[in-house]
Structure 1
Amino acid sequence: MTLKIKQKIPLKIKKIGINGEGVGNFKGTTVFVAGALKGEEVYAEIVTSERNYATAKMLKLNKKSPHRVVPMCESYKQCGGCQIMHLAYPQQLLFKQDLLRQALQKFKPQGYENYEVRKTIGMKQLQHYRAKLQFQTRFLGEKVRAGLFAENSHKLVEIKNCLVQDETTQKIINEVTELLTFHRIPIYNERKFDGVRTVMVRRAHKTGQVQLIFISSAPIELKLTIASLTEKFPEIKTIALNINRKQSSEIYGEHTEILWGERAILEGVLDYTFELSPRAFYQLNPKQTNVLYREALKAMGARADDDLIDAYSGTGTIGRAFLGKVRSIRGMDVIAESIADARLNVPDGVYEVGTAEKLIPQWVADGFKATALIVDPPRTGLDDKLLDTIVATKPKKMVYVSCNVSTLARDLVKLAQVYEVSYIQSVDMFPHTARTEAVVKLVRR
């Protein structure tokens, strides 16, 4: 049946869905209820109704899960950055293991029923683990404010004390908003357009060094702001300006200029250090990245005669973990600044700007054939052309590091044609959110 908007229904929650919402069934229609947990019984009001499903908001909790806890964050319900802080942490880990099973059940890669999905590796420190902050800025109530947009809107939720964000980065963004207000720096809005739209603050876990990027839709004067920031926070080593003139949801434009300080900051993982330029990608949870990379090393089982390709290499941080363990390393990324970092971070490797689907066939034509491949793609997963390239070149072994269970399961449909999935190891990089990382060990059939 088709449910009607504002219709009120009783609902038993059967599971937690991939976005952290409760999932129930009412007379044959799947209903998603934000904030509901598995095993709960709720009274809900329909918000949207489609042919095969509906969404609803919870009006009353009639039967509460024994695993429900009170969220610690004052902005939890408004900001949407965390989705499952109301679920006890041991159950969060079970949920993230189940996330993988749900995705596999949906896409059904060959032999998925027999895949070994290992227990999620969790964290002890559940607060202040996120080392990179990326907040939107808006001028509201005679003051510049920074935070995240409420879910499915452009309404800014000001955040001054994020419980998952590194405390130093939060202090710096709070000071940034004060200075932007005081110095009357132009601030972006959808009508005026010109001005600062986003601020990125990243702190290296290993060294404590900090870098900032101001993302603006037009050039701005920041000398006085920079002077005040660097005086108050001596750990700041780099301040950059990125110009993004696009009227879209893309955060960064193509051009980034260092306004003050060093080209990069120094970070470390496992037993090595590396450089990070402002635009370079690195994992948001540095402490748990040690766990993730150890699992990637374990899954690869690197040999001294292996020739490794590090696809979606970023700054070469994963590739660097294999240095000295394999015969050769080659990698690629589409962001030139990342490749500049990778060449410094992996001095014996060969890193080029470009896409894997273009460079790998070129390398094969030049006589280089990889025996091992590691991929760590963005949330969109592997490019179709790269999947075709992998299936065509068939490295003996492959490790897939994923941050999106759905695109991972989708990609395994094609990869499972030529690879056995030895196991999938879930790693919790983002406590209190409905996201998990996964390390997949694949061996050529």
Structure 2
Amino acid sequence: MAKQEVPVKKNETITITFEDLTHEGSGVGKIDGYPLFVPYGLPGEEAVVKVVKVNKKFGFGKLLEVKNPSPDRVEPPCDVFYKCGGCQIQHMSYKMQLEMKQNQVKNVMRKIAHLDHVPVHPTIGMEDPWRYRNKVAIPVGEKEGELITGFYQMRSHQIIEDMDTCVVQDDANDRIVEGTRRIASRLGIKAYDEQKHRGVLRHIMVRTGRETKEAMVVLITRTKELPHKEELIRELTETYPHIKSIVHNVNSRRTNVIMGNETNVLWGEEYIYDSIGNVRFAISAKSFYQINPPQTKKLYEKALEYANTGESDTVIDAYCGIGTISLFLAQKAKKVYGVEIVPEAINDANINAKLNGITNVEFAVGEAEKVMPKWKDEGLDPDVIVVDPPRKGCDKSLLQAMIEMNPKRIVYVSCNPSTLARDLRILEDGGYETKEVHPVDMFPQSMHVEAVCWLERKVSN
């Protein structure tokens, strides 16, 4: 059998019509059946493309010119959108973004879970899909003796110098980062040089309470000492009176991980506070707290609707984090048990339960797949299990433990449609029926999508 020739060559310039989108938001066009993936291409557009990489089964292209722009093509409001890579789909109308995310979930439900019949509802979006992020961690560099701040250029560690704002960040975060950089530069604090592993200031992190407007500044340094810290604190707190906490984090390692293990409060409180719905949260420098609280509220409301708990129900919240979902569930259930592997998160969860006067929750540190069988042996018999795993999805032994616990209902909150679909297939084979899936747009302008899924125990004949 003759070897099939690839119909395009690297560096060739071709004209192509985009037919579809990848799950990363790139346009897909075909040349003699050979797929070419091109960032920023939209379905229906004819475009001139340079072929930049060729594999046996597919290739990649660079968009040079769009001949007939899609009605869904919009001008990105961010000046550095095509350099940054933090957002991938600002060139797409918001209506199209929501449809793309719904289709992404539909596709994996069909191809991976083999659940074509399960309704995948339209994506729950935001009224204003900008300025939603309540946390920023921005690298610090140096140019001509002055500090600069900006996100890294795509696929590099080169700071984008002409970046003075981020259109998906809270305005207050932008202003505090810029002010911190300006003050630190004037005081002569040196930026960290990752090539030479020298210098001081690595990142500036700012967290803001959406409802409370309280701000926390975290200064991440290579060194244990932070030079001129008294002057820095005084100027920051005088300039930005809504700053309630200034924290110093030491990361002395050669690593891409932003934060190190040592954290000290330099000024103010250890926590700032925020609310989602009627639940109040204490947020520390290292707390995992959803970056888009208005959409988090919609996500949790959908999870609560699917959990459908009553006053006599016992609920397990696996991967409970700082207790966000647990505390919402506790308002409708008899008892909620939360489990999480990160001890600091469980510490925060207990603080948040106390803060809200919620007494019918119990939190445990450990791997959910090990803690839940122990609970089962001790006679814990949950009516509902809620699971909100990381991107890699649930451990197989956790899925098995859920099946063996035999709750009447499972609610699966997912940040990765592919692993959701894989896990749903296992739960279906274990005696559960997937009823509905509802995508939620937690990260507008990016290709990420979350989804809430409702499963019921199958009734045996």
Whether TM exceeds 0.5 here: the answer is yes
Residue 245 of structure 1 deviates from its aligned partner by 3.6
Of residues 355, 367, 375, the one that matches 2:367 is: 355
Letter in 2 for 1:391: I
In structure 2, the residue matched to 1:425 is 438
SS of the equivalent of 1:43 reads strand
Per mean C-alpha deviation after superposition, the further-off stretch among 432-441 and 371-380 is 371-380
Q: Does 1:239 align with 2:246?
A: yes
Alignment of 1:31-430 (within 5 A): 31-106=36-111, 108-110=112-114, 112-158=115-161, 159-194=163-198, 195-221=200-226, 222-346=229-353, 347-348=358-359, 349-418=361-430, 419-430=432-443
SS of the equivalent of 2:17 reads strand
SS of the equivalent of 2:67 reads strand
CA distance in 2, matches of 1:176, 1:366: 52
Question: Do the aligned residues in 2 keep the contact of 1:276 with 1:315 (CA within 8 Å)?
Answer: no
CA distance in 1, matches of 2:299, 2:230: 39
SS of the equivalent of 2:446 reads coil
CA distance in 1, matches of 2:257, 2:396: 22
Residue 45 of structure 1 deviates from its aligned partner by 0.9
CA distance in 1, matches of 2:168, 2:268: 28
In structure 2, the residue matched to 1:16 is 21
Work out which of the two has the higher radius of gyration on C-alpha atoms and give 1 or 2.
Answer: 2
Residue 119 of structure 1 deviates from its aligned partner by 0.7
Question: Do the aligned residues in 2 keep the contact of 1:277 with 1:337 (CA within 8 Å)?
Answer: no
Residue 5 of structure 1 deviates from its aligned partner by 2.3
Letter in 2 for 1:372: V
Residue 68 of structure 1 deviates from its aligned partner by 0.9
CA deviation profile, 1:149-178 (whole Å, cap 9, x unmatched): 222221222431111110001100111111
Per mean C-alpha deviation after superposition, the further-off stretch among 53-62 and 360-369 is 360-369
Unaligned runs of 5+ in 1: none
Question: Do the aligned residues in 1 keep the contact of 2:296 with 2:442 (CA within 8 Å)?
Answer: yes
CA distance in 2, matches of 1:174, 1:359: 45
Per mean C-alpha deviation after superposition, the further-off stretch among 230-239 and 365-374 is 365-374
SS of the equivalent of 2:122 reads strand
Residue 241 of structure 1 deviates from its aligned partner by 2.4
Question: Do the aligned residues in 2 keep the contact of 1:329 with 1:350 (CA within 8 Å)?
Answer: yes
Residue 128 of structure 1 deviates from its aligned partner by 1.1
Per mean C-alpha deviation after superposition, the further-off stretch among 205-214 and 377-386 is 377-386
Per mean C-alpha deviation after superposition, the further-off stretch among 261-270 and 362-371 is 362-371
TM-score by length of 1: 0.94
CA deviation profile, 1:310-357 (whole Å, cap 9, x unmatched): 122121111111123111111122332221121122242111222211
Residue 74 of structure 1 deviates from its aligned partner by 1.1
Cα 1:68–1:193 shift into 2, 3 Å? same
**Cα RMSD (Å):** 1.8
CA distance in 1, matches of 2:27, 2:217: 37
Residue 133 of structure 1 deviates from its aligned partner by 1.1
CA distance in 1, matches of 2:245, 2:396: 37
CA distance in 2, matches of 1:245, 1:370: 45
In structure 1, the residue matched to 2:456 is 443
TM-score by length of 2: 0.91
SS of the equivalent of 1:122 reads coil
Letter in 2 for 1:132: K
Residue 415 of structure 1 deviates from its aligned partner by 2.4
CA distance in 2, matches of 1:444, 1:196: 53
CA distance in 1, matches of 2:156, 2:191: 19
Of residues 447, 451, 456, the one that matches 1:434 is: 447
Question: Do the aligned residues in 1 keep the contact of 2:442 with 2:449 (CA within 8 Å)?
Answer: yes
